[in-house]
Chains A and B, each alone.
Chain A
Amino acid sequence: MLKQLSTHIIQHLLAQNEWTAPMLQPFASQSVQLNFVLLKTSLVILENGSLSIAGETNLPDATITIPPSLLLRLIAKDESAKLQIKVDGDTHLATVLAKVLSHVRWDYEDDLSKLTGDVSASKIGEFTRQTASTVKDTATNLAEMLSEYWQEEKPLLAKKRHVEKFNTEVDTLRADVERMEKRLNKLTKKVSSTSDLNNPVS
């Protein structure tokens, strides 16, 4: 039941995003397993460029594993987080599918228009977008205000430039320690070889 429903939702979304079919069609019959926290599911690419949930005995051609620690960074659209997604098997296939899944957008106005008509759907869509934008702006302002207060008025948070400076100092220290370690090793070898020469074994 869940597979039927999930397949229906995925196919509905892809039908709304017609640009996805030509990208997926060259990979028809191949499948990709997605591992994300408790969610483990495989998607099969169909000949018409759509997707379905795989059956009980499917063997994936590629696997995409997203560690739970990346969740917040991915939501915040941190591009560097994407580099830490683990891909096994056919990487070209996995990359194309990941690109499709990350760019698919739900055209909720189109679905709503079938229930309420075009004009009402457009108005509701506009209202939703404005509300979402207001909520996002308010949240950003609040976060920036609190951040400023805790950095300037009552310092609890470190400033970005201080953190960067600290990181640079740590990097320099690490490099110095590595250099010193190498120098020590070199000296130790030199001392041991000198003592071998002074006390030759007969």
Chain B
Amino acid sequence: MNNMTTEHNTHFGFKTVAESEKAKKVADVFHSVASKYDLMNDVMSAGMHRGWKRFAVSISGVDRGDKVLDIAGGSGDLSKLFAQKVGAEGQVILTDINASMLGVGRDRMLDAGLNVPALQCDAEKLPFPDNYFDCVIVAFGLRNMTHKDRALAEMQRVLKVGGRLLVLEFSKVWQPLSKAYDVYSFKLLPLMGKLLAKDAESYQYLAESIRMHPDQETLKQMMIEAGLSKVDYYNLSAGVVALHKGYKT
């Protein structure tokens, strides 16, 4: 009986919650931070998140005319970069499960004069046909998904043969820096959230969810199990963030 209960539970930061509750709780966090998400990202990462995203685009191999799916794309940073790469003959689709975040991204695409459709959908049930995209990317979104394995399998499904899945996500930091990183995550981050976004709890969750996310090797294995091959990863900023890349063959 206990086993059955455990099977239906999942992590929400360091807390254990019912699977059905996680999506709602994550949604509440992102509704709360949406308006100041980019400001906080810049403050929290000292602007490095822009470099990490540019690097992801540079190793994607995306060319003019390609089709790209940006999952959990939120404020649309990556969609914007990819839209410039694929040109008018290509296609970039921005998706997010959270309406508040997607709204920010959609408005930003419109302001930049980019034709990027914004679609609210669950990454575990992607509303796209099989073998459709040349590249699928999920940046800082996978750790918030309730069933990561299902989401990865869906991403693999919608990729063409030869297509690439890129996962940019917080990861396990280089051991000598782990103490300093803990202090930053659990003391400074909630404080910055409180001062800048008036929301310490949401940023406490962000720090906790990073710690609960699989490390580099585990995520690599998960991608292989989802049917991707030639999976490799890059440690960025001493492993604070890892960029995984896998191919559908």
Contact = CB atoms under 8 A, between A and B. Distances in A.
Interface string A159-198: 0000000000000000000000000000000000000000
Contacts of B62: 47-48
Given A47-B63, A47-B162, A57-B220, A52 B232 contact: no
Contacts of A28: 61, 162
Contacts of A57: 220, 231-233
B55 A7 contact: yes
Interface string B205-249: 000000000001000100000000011111111000001010100
Contact of B61 (A4, A46, A55): A46
Given A4-B55, A48-B61, A55 B162 contact: no
A90 to B, nearest CB: 14
B113 interface: no
A17 interface: no
Contact of A55 (B237, B245, B247): B245
Contacts of B233: 55-57
A52 B60 CA distance: 10
Nearest to A28: B61
Contacts of B234: 3, 55-56
A52 B134 contact: no
A49 B64 CA distance: 12
B59 interface: yes
A43 to B, nearest CB: 11
Contacts of B55: 4, 7
Contacts of A52: 58-59
A147 B233 CA distance: 54
A11 interface: yes
B129 interface: no
Interface string A87-102: 0000000000000000
Given A47-B63, A56-B216, A57-B232, A1 B58 contact: no
A contact patch SS: loop
B237 A1 contact: yes
A56 B235 contact: yes
Contacts of A44: 59, 232
Interface string A23-52: 000001100000000000000101111101
Interface in B110-141: 134
A48 B59 CA distance: 10
A28 B235 CA distance: 22
A183 B216 CA distance: 68
A121 interface: no
Interface in B35-93: 51, 55, 58-63
A48 B61 CA distance: 5
A58 interface: yes
A54 interface: yes
A50 B62 CA distance: 10
Given A7-B55, A28-B162, A44-B59, 16 more contacts: A1-B236, A3-B234, A4-B236, A7-B59, A28-B61, A29-B247, A44-B232, A46-B61, A47-B63, A47-B162, A48-B63, A49-B63, A52-B58, A52-B59, A55-B232, A56-B233
Interface of B: 51, 55, 58-63, 134, 162, 164, 216, 220, 230-237, 243, 245, 247
25 contacts: A1-B236, A3-B234, A7-B58, A7-B59, A8-B58, A28-B61, A28-B162, A29-B247, A44-B59, A46-B61, A47-B61, A47-B134, A47-B162, A48-B62, A48-B63, A49-B63, A52-B59, A55-B232, A55-B234, A55-B243, A55-B245, A56-B235, A57-B220, A57-B231, A58-B232
